[in-house]
Amino acid sequence: MQPLSAIPPRRDPAPSRAAYRMQRLWLTPLFRALMRVGLPAFAIMMVLGIYLSSESRRDALSGGFASLRDSFQERPQFMVGLLAIDGASPALAATIRATLNLALPQSSFDIDLDATRAQIEALDGVASADLRIKAGGILQADITERVPAVVWRGLANVELLDETGRRVRLVAARTDRADLPLVAGEGADKAVPEALQILAAAGPVMPRMRGLVRMGERRWDLVLDRGQRILLPTEAPVRALERLIALDQAEDLLKRDVLAIDLRLQDRPVLRLAPYALSEMRRARGIDTSESDL
Amino acid sequence: MTDLYQSQRAMRHMRRAAMQRGVIAILDVGSSKIACLILRFDGPERLREADGVGSMAGQSQFRVIGAATTRSRGVRFGEISVMNETERAIRTAVQAAQKMANVRVDHVIACFSGAEPRSYGLAGEWDLQDSVVTEQDVARVLAACDVPDIGEGREVLHAQPVNFALDHRTGLGDPRGQIGNRLACDMHLLSVEATVIQNLLYCIKRCDLELAGVASSAYVSGVSSLVEDEQELGAACIDMGGGSTGISVFIKKHMIYADAVRMGGDHVTSDISKGLQVPLAVAEKIKTKHGGVHATGMDDRDMIEISADSGDWEKDRRTVSRTELIGIMRPRVEEILEEARARLDAAGFDSLPSQQIVLTGGASQIPGLDGLAARILGQRVRLGRPLRVQGLPQAVTGPAFASAVGLCLFAAHPQDEWWDFDIPAERYPARSLKRAIKWFKDNW
């Protein structure tokens, strides 16, 4: 027998057991995927994890990033130095400035335009606002004011309402805005569009008009001078008023000594006469009421 | 017996698992080369373009995706003689094939030519209980075959039912479902030396592979190089390998006899080496370049230069005529063929209806062999090449790869063997419940 420790052939084409096993392992799909994707991913995560495990490094990293961001955002090109308000009365403009309370100059990155606009539009006197940053560091606010349509004498104070019934502002007295019609009564602000329709239809009686009173949050009373009242129905008050005006023009109804005209029943308007007129009418008709309750 | 039955069953399961996975390796451990092919099974549908019979008559359900050969080391007469060397050679072949295929294989089907195969014909009979042949009946009739004494230290490599007879009708391929009273079967049993299989198993285990089947290389070369009608009508395949020459006889598409002559091309080479006093490598080169078995007048003038590196100018500059070379080769080739003839005669090859003989294997490439073989083996001799299978590289389509290609076909379509059938219920001690049920059924 040849010695077992014989010199091996100079170049053995056979792979060693380790090389053979390694090649087979490398041909295993799972192992291959692990080596090609898993291992690099793990190495990257490992390096990142080790680097970020120290508090001071994390702080330095976040601080460096924050300072870089601040230095970029606070360049003069991005600074806003002026708030310009257009389309608002001086008093409203002052209110807006006071509400926003912007610390100018400020970087335009720090101004939240949507939130600021919502803040402006939340004010009573502003119908809509248009906010943008113009070149030259100007924050431009274009304001559309609410237009007051009626004066509402509520329970506590006198307010101006716009045509939708939104509050515009307080006034000290009704005479501050004598040009606007007056509405009164609880819940009147919720029915301002209807009141405006009634007022538009009440043209011929306008000179005698005192105002509209909301009754029971349900219907309107038209109050004229001399204490006369026109009780309008809940449904279709405008048509009832138009019929009354036609009646008035035909028969001069409102000039007579009538306390109230009740139009709540559509097919039967009811008049309430003044006491003197009533007794006169009874006397003329020969009705004696001296012994009855009437 | 049961031990072998179980291990063969285990290999069959392994083979099925490998088919499911789709990749299996074929390993032909020969004396002159070790070939490894890697097959990918992807079903016949995926490679089919049109309807009808697929290409290769449905054999194309696999594709060769890796092929490698390496010079064999440590194998003599088709048996492993030096384990370490053989293991290295197997590793080389498997690694190269894996590299080509770019997949990892875990299951391998191997074949070898040596180990003194011996054929036995077995017969068994069984009286059917309920006149219809069931799978259990087939298993019973196979179990009823009386196993001859195959000798100490031998294992059964193949045990294939070859023929079934039902009453007076014989030649049934599949008797299941047929009606009769008495089922008889003929079985062909091939036994080999157990130690050879164990060595091979150990080598393959050392390469981290699992054995999913073993086959005799004589059988698988017959599968690949005999055409269908030859297999049907009766033919013998003589696989002339390096260290041994395998003989297998087929009829009705079943192998009925296999044997091996422990001589092959390597003996021719060693004869040349001795006769011309040259190293084996040079002798092999001279054999393949100039070899032959028929000398003509031209060959006297055809001088072959024999190079050597002994340093002696006279010895290194010798020339030899081709006639002399043929004179060395021919007796050995004749001896091999005569030995094969003797084996065939002993097996009763004469009585087959067709006596086609197909020569294949690496040593069958000697020029003029068919003429010589016709004089020894009879007139009906042809040289065979293995069937073409899909994806096989051109370099491995030669006759030397007949057994590797045959093993591919064997892997794809193994014949039913004894262990493919269940153990009959009577022989199962654990199935006593089943027996009780059967007893009830029979008596009520």
Neighbours of A162 (CB within 10 A): 18
Query: For position A293, what pLDDT does the model report?
Result: 63
A27–B207: do the CB atoms touch at under 8 Å? no
B92–A23: do the CB atoms touch at under 8 Å? no
Could you tell me if A260 and A196 lie in one domain? Answer: yes
Query: For position B423, what pLDDT does the model report?
Result: 66
Could you tell me if A202 and A244 lie in one domain? Answer: yes
Interface mutation vs chain A, best among B73, B88, B105, most A CBs within 10 Å? B88
Residue B423 falls within a domain, yes or no?
no
Chain B interface includes A24 (CB < 8 A): yes
Mean pLDDT over all residues of chain B? 84
Domain final residue, candidates A98, A123, A145: A145
* pLDDT digit string, tens, across residues A233-272: 888 888 888 888 888 888 887 788 888 888 888 888 888 8
* pLDDT digit string, tens, across residues B290-302: 888 888 888 888 8
Domain final residue, candidates A130, A145, A160: A145
Separation CA B137–CA B132 (nearest Å): 9
**What amino acid occupies position B432?**
S
For A42-53, what is the mean pLDDT? 94
- Report how many domains make up chain B: 1
Helix (H, G, I), strand (E, B) or coil at A279: helix
A20–B91: do the CB atoms touch at under 8 Å? yes
**Given strand A82-86, what is the order of strands in its sheet?**
A82-86, A138-145, A126-134
| Residues constituting chain B | 444
The owner of tokens 């070790």 is B34
What CATH number does the domain containing A281 carry?
3.40.50.11690
Q: Which two tokens stand for residue B414?
A: 């193994």
Is the distance from CB of B25 to CB of B107 less than 8 angstroms? yes
Bridge partners (DSSP) listed for residue B245: B240, B261
Separation CA B325–CA B180 (nearest Å): 63
Percent of chain B with pLDDT over 90: 18
Q: Is the pLDDT of residue B52 over 60?
A: no
Q: Is the pLDDT of residue B50 over 60?
A: no
Residue A185 falls within a domain, yes or no?
yes
Separation CA B134–CA A152 (nearest Å): 105
The owner of tokens 């099925």 is B16
Residue A246 falls within a domain, yes or no?
yes
Chain B interface includes A14 (CB < 8 A): yes
Domain assignment of residue B180, given as a range: 118-194
Could you tell me if A111 and A165 lie in one domain? Answer: no
**Which residues in chain B are contacts of A13 at CB distance < 8 A?**
70, 92
Could you tell me if A86 and A199 lie in one domain? Answer: no
Could you tell me if A133 and A202 lie in one domain? Answer: no
Could you tell me if A163 and A252 lie in one domain? Answer: yes
B95–A12: do the CB atoms touch at under 8 Å? no
**Which residues in chain A are contacts of B25 at CB distance < 8 A?**
none
* pLDDT digit string, tens, across residues B164-186: 888 888 877 788 888 888 888 88
Query: For position B328, what pLDDT does the model report?
Result: 92
A15–B91: do the CB atoms touch at under 8 Å? yes
Lowest mean pLDDT across A26-30, B51-55, B157-161: B51-55
Tell me which chain A residue has its CA closest to the CA of residue B95: A20
ipTM: 0.72
Could you tell me if A280 and A163 lie in one domain? Answer: yes
**Which residues in chain B are contacts of A23 at CB distance < 8 A?**
95, 98-99
Neighbours of B2 (CB within 10 A): 8
Residue A2 falls within a domain, yes or no?
no
Residue B395 falls within a domain, yes or no?
no
Strands (E), chain A: 79-80, 82-86, 106-107, 126-134, 138-145, 148-153, 158-162, 167-171, 182-184, 209-215, 219-224, 229-231, 258-262, 270-273
Is the distance from CB of B29 to CB of B83 less than 8 angstroms? no
Q: Is the pLDDT of residue A155 over 60?
A: yes
Per-residue confidence band for A294, with pLDDT thresholds at 50, 70 and 90: low
The size of the A-B interface in CB pairs under 8 A is 29
Could you tell me if A181 and A224 lie in one domain? Answer: yes
A12–B99: do the CB atoms touch at under 8 Å? no
For B324-352, what is the mean pLDDT? 90
* Residue A112 φ then ψ, to 5°: -90, 100
Tell me which chain A residue has its CA closest to the CA of residue B102: A27
Q: Is the pLDDT of residue A45 over 80?
A: yes
Could you tell me if A196 and A137 lie in one domain? Answer: no
Helices marked H in B83-169 — which ranges? Answer: 83-101, 135-144
Helix/strand number for chain B, H first, E second: 15, 18
Residue B157 falls within a domain, yes or no?
yes
* pLDDT digit string, tens, across residues A179-206: 888 888 887 778 888 888 888 888 878 8
Q: How far is B385 from chain A (nearest CA, A)?
A: 29
Query: For position B431, what pLDDT does the model report?
Result: 61
Q: Which two tokens stand for residue A281?
A: 């009418």
Q: How far is A30 from chain B (nearest CA, A)?
A: 11
**Which residues in chain A are contacts of B98 at CB distance < 8 A?**
23-24, 27
Q: Is the pLDDT of residue B2 over 70?
A: no
Chain B interface includes A23 (CB < 8 A): yes
Cα–Cα nearest to A85, from A135, A36, A158, A145: A145
Chain B interface includes A105 (CB < 8 A): no
Could you tell me if A204 and A275 lie in one domain? Answer: yes
Domain assignment of residue A252, given as a range: 148-285
- Report how many domains make up chain A: 2
Separation CA B381–CA B409 (nearest Å): 24
What CATH number does the domain containing B149 carry?
3.30.1490.110
Q: Is the pLDDT of residue A42 over 90?
A: yes
Interface mutation vs chain B, best among A11, A20, A23, A32, most B CBs within 10 Å? A20
Could you tell me if A101 and A175 lie in one domain? Answer: no
Neighbours of A161 (CB within 10 A): 24
Q: Is the pLDDT of residue A1 over 70?
A: no
Helix (H, G, I), strand (E, B) or coil at A244: helix
Per-residue confidence band for B1, with pLDDT thresholds at 50, 70 and 90: very low
B333-343: burial string, b at 16+ Cβ within 10 Å, e else: bebbbebbbeb
Q: Which residues contact residue B258 at a Cβ distance below 8 angstroms, ignoring those fewer than 6 apart?
A: B117, B119, B158, B190, B216, B218, B219, B246, B247, B248, B249
Interface mutation vs chain A, best among B70, B85, B91, B203, most A CBs within 10 Å? B91
Mean pLDDT over all residues of chain A? 84
Residue A12 falls within a domain, yes or no?
no
A23–B98: do the CB atoms touch at under 8 Å? yes
Residue B96 falls within a domain, yes or no?
no
Nearest to B98 among A14, A17, A27 (CB): A27
Helix (H, G, I), strand (E, B) or coil at B115: coil
Query: For position B221, what pLDDT does the model report?
Result: 92
A24–B104: do the CB atoms touch at under 8 Å? yes
Query: For position A220, what pLDDT does the model report?
Result: 85
**Which residues in chain A are contacts of B104 at CB distance < 8 A?**
24, 27-28
Bridge partners (DSSP) listed for residue A148: A162
* pLDDT digit string, tens, across residues B95-115: 999 999 888 898 899 998 888
Domain final residue, candidates A116, A145, A174: A145
Q: How far is B89 from chain A (nearest CA, A)?
A: 6
B169-172 and B154-166 beta bridge pairing: antiparallel
Could you tell me if A188 and A207 lie in one domain? Answer: yes
Chain B contacts to A (CB-CB under 8 A): 70, 88-89, 91-92, 94-95, 98-99, 102-104, 207-208
Q: Is the pLDDT of residue B157 over 70?
A: yes
Query: For position A9, what pLDDT does the model report?
Result: 66
Query: For position A206, what pLDDT does the model report?
Result: 82
A24–B92: do the CB atoms touch at under 8 Å? no
